[in-house]
Amino acid sequence: MTSLPKPRGRLSDAVLLALRELPEQPVERIDAEPESDDDAAITLWTLHELHYRGFDEVDDRAEWEPELLRVRRRLEERLEAALRERWPGVPDGLDLQRDFFDWVADHDGPSIARHVHTAATRDQVLDLLRVRSVYHLKEADPTTWVVPRLPVGPKAALVELQFDEYGVGDPARLHAVLFAQGMEASGLRADYAAYVDEAPAEILEQNNALSMFGLQRRLRASALGHLAAFEATSSMPSRRMAQGLDRLGFPAEMAAYYTEHVEADAVHEQTALRDICVALVAEEPVLEADVWFGAWACLDLEDRTARRLLSGWGVAA
Amino acid sequence: MTRPATRPDVVMCPGGPMLLRGDHVVVDDDGVSHATTRPVSAVCRCGKSASKPWCDGTHKVLPPKLRP
Ligand code: FES
């Protein structure tokens, strides 16, 4: 059961009120500007959720309500503009297939996994699991939007990768379910979006960028670049997470989620790059810049989240 | 529509693992058998994985001349 989040400012207030009043009250024009990044991020997260699982107290027709789509578009433009302003552009002289992994490795951002591995307290890890659950409980879903928008080669390769994410047809092995089992075993709530009110804007922006890349066909190649960077930064950090969880005495189910990702993502990073991104660019060369943009966005948004969480714990990033 | 290229079952990734598509049993250095469990599996070729015989991404932190 998913409930609406708490508002974080004028705009989210207006949108949440409109959602609650549907279908009895038509949505009036909403012109409020977001008061803060938090206000913008929680509003966009809520509007995106209408395309996934919806909310108990909201009429399902809200998904295609024109005024809400207009607000969503305005917020997506704001998010994309902020990303593009920070983006240094396509890296000079690099070949996507040959240089991608080294480019990712050269990106030296703050690492939450390293902190969890050696130094984090139990409470810090509980904080982390709660806010990461906003994504992990719907892991892989945003990228599934992209499937029908691809030529056959990258499409088949993406479905092969997603099939593994979705547990090879076994619901008990679905990655989102492994995470939920870990949450429950750790004494946390495993229901969808249970902790969204605790998530800082940076976490919501990570989720929102993924949903935006997935939902907008124009940005399909960025969704896949994001996927390639995400997979390429997963195996070794997942190992550190699993060891950190063991160090702190977390239940085996929680570490198992991360252990699964060590080997799974060592495969996925290869196929996401070679069979999906490189294959797509071979067919549609104009999309290469978008692949790099999506990959960079993945690293940038994770850096911001890491800095936010680490500084909240009083750890130098 | 042109006929898609045939998909390989075994792929050598430059500097990285060997990908295996489908179900296989891999015997490691010590003679122990490991069955694949996923649609595609990555077999370590650099010798440095902590999850051998499977790749765990360690090859990426090796200097280029030590990568497969
Ligand atoms: S080839 Fe990847 S860890 Fe050895």
Is B25 a domain residue?
yes
How many CB atoms are closer than 10 A to CB A245?
27
Within a domain: B42? yes
* B62 in a structural domain: no
Rounded Cα–Cα distance for residues A48 and A52 (Å)? 7
pLDDT tops 70 at residue A21: yes
Whether pLDDT at A90 is above 60: yes
**CB under 8 Å to A249, separation ≥6 — which residues?**
A122
Residue A4 is predicted with a pLDDT of 96
Does any ligand 1 atom lie closer than 6 A to the CB of residue B59? yes
Q: Please tell me the predicted confidence (pLDDT) of residue B12.
A: 96
Distance from the Cα of residue A291 to its chain's centroid: 16
Of A101, A156, A266, which has the smallest distance from its Cβ to B42's Cβ? A266
Number of H helices and E strands in chain A, helices first, is 15, 0
Contact assignment for A235 to B56 by CB distance below 8 Å: yes
Beta bridge partners of B33: B27
Task: Enumerate the domain spans of chain A.
Answer: 10-85, 93-312
Question: What residues 36-65 of chain B have any CB closer than 8 A to a CB of chain A?
Answer: 38-42, 50-51, 54-58, 60-61
CB A82 within 8 A of CB A37: no
The answer to whether the beta carbons of residues B60 and A101 sit under 8 Å apart is yes
Q: In total, how many domains does chain B have?
A: 1
pLDDT tens digits, A171-182:
999 999 999 999
Considering the domain boundaries, does residue B67 fall inside one? no
What is the reported pLDDT for A219?
Answer: 98
Report, in angstroms and rounded to the nearest whole number, the Rg of chain A calculated over CA atoms: 19
Domain covering A93-312: architecture:
Up-down Bundle (1.20)
Q: Tell whether the model's pLDDT for residue B45 goes beyond 70.
A: yes
Cα–Cα dist B53/B32, whole Å: 10
Structural domain span for residue B15:
10-55
What the block records as the tokens of A180 is 């939920």
Q: What is the dihedral of CA B42, B46, B50, B53, to 10 degrees?
A: 50
* Residue A90 DSSP one-character state: S
pTM: 0.96
DSSP summary character for residue B54? B
